[in-house]
Amino acid sequence: MSAKIAHLDGIILKELNRILLSDTKNPKLRFVSITEVKVTRDLSYATIYVTFYDGHKRLKELNEAKGYLRSKLAKSLNIRKIPELNFVLDDSFDKAKRIEDILEGLNK
């Protein structure tokens, strides 16, 4: 991965977290945290990995707001092409918890 795309991943992550926390009108989306962003090489698509603080999976609400989020992102970024946003549930925390539970069970 090029350094330019990795840098853009970080900027999009930071900006989308800020937008979700302060600019969105849907209060349910304030319980969303973006954990990782992966932009394709041609900058056409961005896969956004999300987790939810309150345990409710709100991918439907995120996908309904993706046009709004993309337009807010376009205003805050200084790039020519804003990628299409694709939200994906980040289940790495659940997997880590499951592994911890297994290891704890082995220690008992």
Q: What CA–CA distance (Å, rounded) separates 2 from 9?
A: 11
Q: Specify the amino acid at residue 11.
A: I
d(CA 1, CA 37): 13
Interval 33-48: pLDDT, tens: 899 999 999 989 999 9
Q: Mean of the per-residue pLDDT values for the chain?
A: 86
Tens digits of per-residue pLDDT, 12-40? 999 999 998 888 888 878 888 899 999 99
Q: Which of 2-6, 42-46, 69-73, 82-86 has the lowest mean pLDDT?
A: 2-6
Query: Which residue, among 16, 53, 35, has the nearest Cα to 90 in the 3D structure?
Result: 35
- All domains of the chain in start order, with CATH: 3-107 (3.30.300.20)
Contact between 82 and 19 (Cβ < 8 Å): no
User: Which pLDDT score is estimated for 55?
Assistant: 67
Confidence of residue 1 (pLDDT cuts 50, 70, 90): low
